[in-house]
Amino acid sequence: MHVVVITKSTPDKEAKITVNASGVVTWGDAQMVINPWDEYSVTEAILLKEAHGVKTTALAIGPEVHNDALKQALAMGVDEAVRVWDDGMEGQDSLGYANAAAAAIRKLGDVDLVLFGKEFMDVGTDAHIFQTARKLGWPMLGSYLKILSVDFAGKTISLDRLLEEGKQTVTSKLPAIASLAQDINEPKYPSFMGIRKASKATIPVWSSADLGIGEQALGNSAFVRTTAFANLPAWEGSVQIIDGTSDQDKADKLVARLIEEKIL
Amino acid sequence: MDFSLSEEHLMAQKMVRDFAQKEIYPTIKEYDRRQEMNPDVLPLMAKHGILGINIPVRYGGQGFDYLTLALACEELERVDTTLRVIMSVHVGLNSMALLQWGSEEQKQKYLVPQARGERYAAFCLTEPGAGSDVLSMQATARRQGDVYVLNGEKMWISLATKAHHFLVVARTANDKESHNLTAFIVTHDMKGVTTGDIHGKLGVRAGSTGWVAFSDVEVPVENRLGEEGEGFYVAMSCLDNGRYTVAAGAVGLIRACLEDSVKYAHSRTTFGKPIAEHQLIKQKIALMQQWYDAGKLLVMRSGWMKNMGQRNTRETSMAKWYATDHSVQAALEAIQVHGAYGFSDEYDVERYLRNAKGGVIYEGTSEIHQLMQADYALEFRHDRPLRRELPAYDAAFWQAEADKMPNR
């Protein structure tokens, strides 16, 4: 019984992020934190560990900075952590990422369930989640709200999914990939004992050669490349206070002005 | 000289920061206005191990070092002084005293539940008529067979109505000599112990401050902390630890003033540009940064000395004096940066000022610390070795049994 949770480090939400003309995202020397959506998925993994005694592993694809997220996961209570990276992976697209993630999950060997947060906050995408499921050939249980039951011995899971139209209850065979809809639980804080364990941990790094994936995960074979980027024009606004003889008068003037500006 | 913090320090610091910001900050203004302590604060701090952060694992704590205690205090007071006050009395003034002076039996009976957060602890030294002049205290403890009979009243006691355990210093002989004070561990459920809260304080309004009265309280002899007549030295060593937490917290208060002022200075526009571009605003920001850096360095030096097992009475006094004095200055400047908005409780800086003022009064007024520093420099004052010194941080000893314990 083995649950894997995929994570990465992203800039702190207070970071001042800029994108240059080549589409390269920079955030200066801002502190890196665990992808905020992953606080919930890591917590889900730990709750499954507490309820079912499963082994939990945190997995990140990327350079050394992603050790921060892995150590946070260890401090929160995940059992083990693995990072996948070599310099050739620099510039990989989401498909390359999925190739690497799928290969690492296969190498772990006995995985029943892989959890993702809603998306990666820094790049604002969840494409890699679906691509990872496709590469593994496993069911993709996207946007779940709650795990209703899971039978690791019987290899089945039942959960509620969030749809635009409402809530959907599904069952699936395991192994499977599942991503969280949003902030569905109360994230666990790292424990001090967990912090000590994490700070002493040496996280193994698997290269593309270790995973036997070659060019499929490499940056220079990426299908999708960013060729240009333009930031949104800076927002400029002004404040106007609407005077009137009464609240009704002020409201009337406000409505008239909003109609004039074609806002209403 | 290595000024860097370890990964363990940084992760612990971040954990406490996240805890304070997410769990406490959203409601702090409401509790401050109501002059009530959020009832969830102590249980939450206990649950996350913060109340035993630097106590050895074998005594129920988390086994981190003295520097981590300072980092935690900084993060807690960054949000509100009342959080750091809890650390000052529960950890600095009480639990660390048990670690330093307690017998093994006392540690097992009182320190372990305190470090686990199952029992809360306070420190009873100040009296209605005895603050800086400790030796004029009136509380008495008369030995009668296997008990001491305790009488008197203690005032301005943080967690007075919340604590289960009190470290009480009382007079065991009538004359005004230091060797006639003795320290005791008193529990709230002993017959004759009564407590109450004090309201109408200028600051730390979301905290619990009160009085504790003792009326013919029979304290077993085995609850005496240290030897009879050793209470003055016990109390002064407690202050070395309490003042350390106060200093670290004041550094957090300065940081709060700095961070809030920087944010406001970037967003507020006057004369066609952000006020951050006005030179006199820059001066205030620069001063706050200077006070933060200097205060933090003084606290870290004190923490390093504690880790090394070195006596740090002078250095801790300097850190406390400097950091608290400048936290008041920083709060004044922060209000000035915020202008009229800083004068209202729409922003946090007015709370920072009200909270900062207490820090230059309790745990040795700024005037007491100036006298101490002068007396050290003039060689009127020398620290003599104590019978029991605060133990140096020994990671192997502090963390033993840690690996066998599950994550909490």
Q: What is the complex's ipTM, to 2 decimals? A: 0.88
Question: With pLDDT > 90 as the criterion, what percentage of chain A qualifies?
Answer: 69
Between A4-18, A88-102, A103-117, A222-236, the lowest mean confidence (pLDDT) is in A222-236
Look at B403 and A40; give whichever has higher pLDDT. A40
Q: Is the pLDDT of residue B149 over 60?
A: yes
A-B contacts (CB, under 8 Å)? 47
Question: Nearest-CA residue of chain B relative to A193?
Answer: B407
pLDDT in tens, B50-93: 999 999 999 999 999 999 999 999 999 999 999 999 999 999 99
Q: Does B11 sit within 8 Å of A72, measured CB to CB?
A: yes
CB within 8 Å of A112: residues ≥ 6 apart: A1, A2, A3, A54, A152, A155, A174, A175
Q: Is the pLDDT of residue B402 over 50?
A: no
pLDDT in tens, B156-202: 999 999 999 999 999 998 776 667 999 999 999 999 999 999 999 99
Q: Which tokens is A83 given?
A: 């990072």
In the prediction, which pLDDT does A264 show? 82
pLDDT in tens, A162-190: 998 999 999 999 999 999 998 899 999 99
Mean pLDDT of the residues in chain A? 91
Q: Does B7 sit within 8 Å of A192, measured CB to CB?
A: no
Dist. CA B10–CA B16, nearest whole Å: 10
Q: Is the pLDDT of residue A96 over 70?
A: yes
Residue with tokens 């210093």: B169
Q: How far away is chain B from the Cα of A81, in angstroms, using its nearest Cα?
A: 16
In the prediction, which pLDDT does B177 show? 66
Q: How far away is chain B from the Cα of A170, in angstroms, using its nearest Cα?
A: 33
Q: Does B12 sit within 8 Å of A192, measured CB to CB?
A: yes
Look at A29 and B216; give whichever has higher pLDDT. B216
Residue A29: pLDDT band with limits 50, 70, 90: confident
Dist. CA A92–CA A73, nearest whole Å: 24
CB within 8 Å of B94: residues ≥ 6 apart: B114, B121, B122, B123, B165, B167, B238
Question: Nearest-CA residue of chain A relative to B61?
Answer: A192
In the prediction, which pLDDT does B176 show? 66
- Tell me the Cα Rg of chain B: 21
Question: Nearest-CA residue of chain A relative to B405?
Answer: A193
Q: Is the pLDDT of residue B299 over 90?
A: yes
The answer for B 196-235 residues in CB contact with A (under 8 A) is none
Q: Is the pLDDT of residue A216 over 90?
A: no
pLDDT in tens, B27-55: 999 999 999 999 999 999 999 999 999 99
Helix A192-200 crosses helix A67-76 at what angle (to 10 degrees)?
140
Q: Does A189 sit within 8 Å of B402, measured CB to CB?
A: no
Question: With pLDDT > 70 as the criterion, what percentage of chain B qualifies?
Answer: 97
B6 vs A189, A194, A199: nearest CB: A199
Q: Does B18 sit within 8 Å of A71, measured CB to CB?
A: no
Dist. CA B360–CA A38, nearest whole Å: 43
DSSP result, chain A: -EEEEE--EEE-TTS--EE-TT--EE-TTPPEEE-TTHHHHHHHHHHHHHHH--EEEEEEESSGGGHHHHHHHHHHT-SEEEEE--GGGTT--HHHHHHHHHHHHHHH----EEEE-S-BTTTTB-HHHHHHHHHHT--EEEEEEEEEEEETTTTEEEEEEEETTEEEEEEEESSEEEEE-S--S-PPPPPHHHHHHHHH----EE-HHHHT-GGGG-GGG-S-------PPPPP-----PPP-SSHHHHHHHHHHHHHHTT--
Is A196 within 8 Å of chain B by CB?
yes
Catalytic site residue B363? yes
Catalytic residue among B218, B277, B363, B379: B363
AA identity, residue B152: G
Residues of A in contact with B8 (CB under 8 A): 195-196, 199
Torsion angle of the four alpha carbons A10, A12, A14, A16, in this order, in degrees rounded to the nearest 10: -40
Q: Is the pLDDT of residue B407 over 80?
A: no
In the prediction, which pLDDT does A17 show? 75
Question: Nearest-CA residue of chain B relative to A72?
Answer: B11
**For A134-152, what is the mean pLDDT?**
96
pLDDT in tens, B9-26: 999 999 999 999 999 999
CB within 8 Å of A21: residues ≥ 6 apart: A228, A229, A230
In the prediction, which pLDDT does B64 show? 97
Determine the Cα angle at A202 with ends A196 and A204, to 5°: 145
Dist. CA B100–CA B135, nearest whole Å: 22
Look at B12 and A238; give whichever has higher pLDDT. B12
In the prediction, which pLDDT does A213 show? 87
pLDDT in tens, B204-223: 999 999 999 999 999 999 99
CA distances to A233, B11, B19, B52, B63 from B8, in Å:
42, 5, 16, 16, 11
Q: Is the pLDDT of residue B408 over 50?
A: no
In the prediction, which pLDDT does A232 show? 77
pLDDT in tens, B386-400: 999 999 999 999 998
